Structure 1
Amino acid sequence: MITFILNNKTITTSEHSGMTLLDFVRYEQRLTGTKIGCREGDCGACTVLVGTLESGYIEYQSITSCISPLGNAHGKHIVTVEGTNLQNKLTVIQEAMKANYATQCGFCTPGFVVALTGFTLSSSHKNYDNALDAISGNICRCTGYKAIEKAANQVVEKLNNKEKRSFDWLIANEFIPEYFSTIPKRLRELETKDRDQPKGKYVSGGTDLYVQQPDHLADNDVHLIAEKDYLKGINIKNGICTIGTNSTVSDLWNHKELNTIFPNLKKHLKLVSSEQIRNMASLGGNFVNASPIGDMTIFFLALNSDIGITTQGGKDRNLPLKNFYQGYKTFDLKDGELLKDIQLKLPKQNTYFNFEKVCKRTHLDIASVNSAASISVENNIISEAHVAIGGVAAIPKYLQDTSAFLTGKPLTSKTILEAQEVLQNEILPISDVRGTSDYKRLLGRQLFFAHFTELFPKQFTLNEFIEHA
């Protein structure tokens, strides 16, 4: 049985755990404010909030319910747009949307309201940029964005640009309904023993699988692993960072120590999908999706990461991530094996990391080409280099020859220009909907140059490279 709280109602259901949360909410509970749009997590019309009880405290995150399995709601608080309503009046978020004429056809409006409500409940700084991040996964097809942005700004002003507010403050100031204050106690009292999982396809966040094969997952047994503790957590010890494969991009985003080690981490991660997807998609899922343009795969390839693999029998093995991929959508993972964790050596003081991505829109889009680089420099000599690039080969490409060429060379324009020629010989892009092969080669060159102009701005300019390329 699946047990959770839906708005202000406790739910116990024997429905198939592989059906989508969206379908359960709309068709079984008749809460039709949560809309069906793309069914791919792209439009945000189906946005709901998921509240998870951790150490007596609830953390709320927005997700797209159209690609989330119902079973992942077990033990959680799920909030739809109906669950944000006050008695006979509008919430601050709803009033802001109304006052700024931020709704036209109205189809997308519930998703925006829920996402902005999640922003008020989140632990992020209550500023305008973070409010826009919260709705980066919501699309308005009537192009009412400026009005919606004004509504988001009005919400921020009402929050007084403070840190996370308590439930009591948010209730008293009409951001959320009063029942929210009862949820922590009710979640603690829920009967949420670990459920027996059937043998079936492993599913964590489901953000890729539910795009590819939603009907199959809804009709057949799935083995949900999102709540497996041994696949969770971020641990830093003795210069090694170990990240469980159930960790999400948001887990990296919110990790204070990682943000100290990688000062531009949030800037880089902001290029990855949208806030809703960052909240639910697992790193392990990104790796085994094996997409040649997987953002996080490229990210961790450039960090020269290793991956840990486990079986139900407990036999673990490790291998470099760059050796994991064997061909298009094929990789070194046997039946019954799971990716357990990612391990990387923390960068030294003289190591610099950068991630770049080009796509047709800034947020929530797959890359035409993406690239990451980790460069260590001592006395103006490149002591170590790791460069990865996506969208230019059948696999997420670790540039073995380019990285080896850079190592031991002086950090000069001549070295970088010569390394770019090596890069061009390592890649083999094809023409597709994201660009021609020539265009991707150009992007590969420009992103490679961008790593050095971004990391060493006093030494290099992009025009300097272009003139001599």
Structure 2
Amino acid sequence: MIKFILNNTEITTSMAPGMVLLDYIRYERNLKGTKIGCREGDCGACTVLIGGVTNGVLKYSSATSCLTALGNIHHKHIVTVEGVNFDYEPNPIQQAMCDQAGTQCGFCTPGFIVSMAGFCLSDKQPTQQNAIAAVDGNICRCTGYKSIERALEQVTELIKDKTGDTVEYVTSKNILPSYFKNIKERLQLLATQTNGEANMQSINTRFLGGGTDLYVQQHDKMVYADIDFLTRKQQLKGITKHGDKCVIGGAATVTDLITSPVILAHFPKIAEVGKLISSTPIRNIATLAGNFVNGSPIGDFSIFFLALGAVLTLSDGENKSDVALEKFYKGYKTLDKQPNQFVESFWFTLPDKNTWFTFEKVSKRTHLDIASVNSAMSLTMDGNIVTHARISAGGVYAFPLYLAKTSAFLVGKELTEELVTEATELLQTEIAPISDARGTAEYKRLLLSQLIKAHFIKLFPLLEIDKLLA
């Protein structure tokens, strides 16, 4: 049985836990404000808020309900557009959209309203930049975004004095309904209720993190699958520092990564990387371990952590084993992992003051798109001498690739323009791109060479390597 709160109603359901939340909302609860659009997490028409209590604090995040399994909302608060309505008048967020002519056909509007409500409930500063970021997963095809931006300005003005408890603030200001005040206590009570939910892992178990790719590829298979919901395991979450190592739980999300104090201290520009990868509602539920296990040749975080030398800890629930991420991939979608194993956690050595790291990605669209080619590089320097190097690349091989030869070639050498040129020539012997919808093989070869040069230009601008791009 799955228990959660849907808007202001407590729900107990025996529906298949692999069923996506979108279908449950529309067809089982007849709440038609949440729209069916792309069913791939791209359009935002199905956006909902998911609220949960962690360490006594209630936090909300936006999510695409088309890719969220019912089993992943156990003991959560789900807010649809109906859940932000007042009885006889629009709430101030809805009124802002009306005042600024922010809706035309209206199909996308509920998703925008929910995302804006999530912004009001968040701990983000009330700035226009943060307001726009809150709706980066919502697409409007007919109104045009300027009117929606004006509505966001009006919403931002509503919460300009926001302090303290956000739920208390938005309810006291009549921005959202008063029932939100009691949600934390209701969720805490719900969590104390047991309902025989013990998850006995069977031979046919499918492991599920956020599901943001699995439901796109295998929706019908997942609905009635025997699923072990990894995001419900608190021990698989968290990002912690142990000496010079960073340990990240297998159920940690992309949002967890880009907001982690540990990560921000060593990768201050991580938010810029995050903006290149999916959208806020996807980042809120997509797990980093899921990106590894997906095995996509262009997996952004697979490439990111390959360059950092990440090591995975695999578990079958009892026994554990470690495998370096660079050894994890055996072929296209083929992993060094048994079917009964999942990624419990992974770790990597945090960069010191002499280590430089950068990530590059090129795609047809800057945002909300998969890479044509992506790459990451970590260099440790002793003056002008490279003492340690790791370079990774995606979109140029059957799986996320660690460029072992090119990385080894750089070590012990003085960093010069000539060395960079030689490295870009050597890497061509390590890759084997194919022509597909993202570009020809020749284009990808050229693109990777340019990205490698871009790494050096960004990290060592005094070398004037930019002339090599001509």
Runs of 4+ deviating beyond 3 Å:
161-165, 191-194
Deviation at 1:215, TM superposition (A): 1.1
Does residue 301 of structure 2 align to residue 299 of structure 1?
no
> Could you tell me which of 219, 222, 230 is aligned with 2:224?
219
**Tell me, which stretches of 5 or more residues in structure 1 are unaligned?**
none
How far apart, CA to CA, are the structure 2 residues paired with 1:87 and 1:201?
A: 42
Q: Please give the per-residue CA displacement for 1:7-53, whole angstroms capped at 9, x wherever unaligned.
A: 00000111111101111110010110000001111111100000011
Q: Please give the per-residue CA displacement for 1:218-271, whole angstroms capped at 9, x wherever unaligned.
A: 133222221112321111011110101100010011111210111111111211
Aligned positions of 1:70-81 closer than 5 A: 70-81=70-81
Deviation at 1:420, TM superposition (A): 0.6
Does residue 468 of structure 2 align to residue 465 of structure 1?
yes
Q: 1:409 to 1:162 in 2, by over 3 A?
A: farther
How far apart, CA to CA, are the structure 1 residues paired with 2:126 and 2:206?
A: 39
How far apart, CA to CA, are the structure 2 residues paired with 1:414 and 1:174?
A: 64
Does residue 211 of structure 2 align to residue 206 of structure 1?
yes
Aligned positions of 1:157-306 closer than 5 A: 157-160=157-160, 166-190=166-190, 191-193=192-194, 195-197=197-199, 199=202, 200-306=205-311
Q: Give the conservation status (yes or no) of the 8 Å contact 2:212–2:282.
A: yes
Supply the AA of the counterpart residue of 2:5.
I
Q: Give the conservation status (yes or no) of the 8 Å contact 2:103–2:143.
A: no
Q: Give the conservation status (yes or no) of the 8 Å contact 2:120–2:166.
A: no
Does residue 452 of structure 2 align to residue 444 of structure 1?
no
> Could you tell me which of 434, 439, 442 is aligned with 1:435?
439
Q: Please give the per-residue CA displacement for 1:313-334, whole angstroms capped at 9, x wherever unaligned.
A: x221112100100000001001
Q: Give the conservation status (yes or no) of the 8 Å contact 2:239–2:262.
A: no
How far apart, CA to CA, are the structure 2 residues paired with 1:126 and 1:188?
A: 29
> Could you tell me which of 314, 327, 336 is aligned with 1:309?
314
Equivalent residue, structure 2, for 1:124: 124
Q: Quick check: 12-21 or 359-368, which moved more?
A: 359-368
Q: Give the conservation status (yes or no) of the 8 Å contact 1:291–1:329.
A: yes
Q: 1:317 to 1:430 in 2, by over 3 A?
A: same
Aligned positions of 1:91-170 closer than 5 A: 91-142=91-142, 144-160=144-160, 166-170=166-170
Q: 1:163 to 1:321 in 2, by over 3 A?
A: farther
Q: 1:230 to 1:408 in 2, by over 3 A?
A: same
Q: Give the conservation status (yes or no) of the 8 Å contact 1:137–1:363.
A: no
Q: Please give the per-residue CA displacement for 1:355-388, whole angstroms capped at 9, x wherever unaligned.
A: 1111122222111111111111111111111111
Equivalent residue, structure 2, for 1:342: 346
Deviation at 1:174, TM superposition (A): 2.8
Supply the AA of the counterpart residue of 1:175.
I
TM-score by length of 1: 0.96
Supply the AA of the counterpart residue of 2:404.
Q
How far apart, CA to CA, are the structure 2 residues paired with 1:410 and 1:162?
A: 53
Deviation at 1:437, TM superposition (A): 1.1
Q: Quick check: 397-406 or 127-136, which moved more?
A: 127-136
Q: Please give the per-residue CA displacement for 1:392-443, whole angstroms capped at 9, x wherever unaligned.
A: 1101011111111111111111111111111122111111111111211121
Q: Give the conservation status (yes or no) of the 8 Å contact 1:2–1:12.
A: yes
Residue identity (%): 49
SS at match of 1:123: coil
Q: Give the conservation status (yes or no) of the 8 Å contact 1:207–1:280.
A: yes
SS at match of 1:156: helix
Q: 1:192 to 1:372 in 2, by over 3 A?
A: farther
Equivalent residue, structure 2, for 1:388: 392
SS at match of 2:298: coil
Aligned positions of 1:12-27 closer than 5 A: 12-27=12-27
Deviation at 1:159, TM superposition (A): 2.0
Deviation at 1:351, TM superposition (A): 0.8
Deviation at 1:192, TM superposition (A): 4.2
Q: Give the conservation status (yes or no) of the 8 Å contact 1:123–1:164.
A: no
SS at match of 1:425: coil
**Tell me, which stretches of 5 or more residues in structure 2 are unaligned?**
none
How far apart, CA to CA, are the structure 1 residues paired with 2:415 and 2:391?
A: 15
Aligned positions of 1:349-364 closer than 5 A: 349-364=353-368
TM-score by length of 2: 0.96
Q: Quick check: 32-41 or 222-231, which moved more?
A: 222-231
Deviation at 1:197, TM superposition (A): 2.5
Q: 1:18 to 1:132 in 2, by over 3 A?
A: same
Q: Give the conservation status (yes or no) of the 8 Å contact 2:240–2:262.
A: no
Q: Give the conservation status (yes or no) of the 8 Å contact 1:125–1:163.
A: no
> Could you tell me which of 370, 373, 377 is aligned with 2:377?
373
How far apart, CA to CA, are the structure 2 residues paired with 1:237 and 1:452?
A: 30
Instruction: Kindly report the root-mean-square deviation, in angstroms, between the aligned alpha carbons of the 2 structures.
Output: 1.5
Aligned residues: 465
How far apart, CA to CA, are the structure 2 residues paired with 1:131 and 1:401?
A: 45
Equivalent residue, structure 1, for 2:417: 413
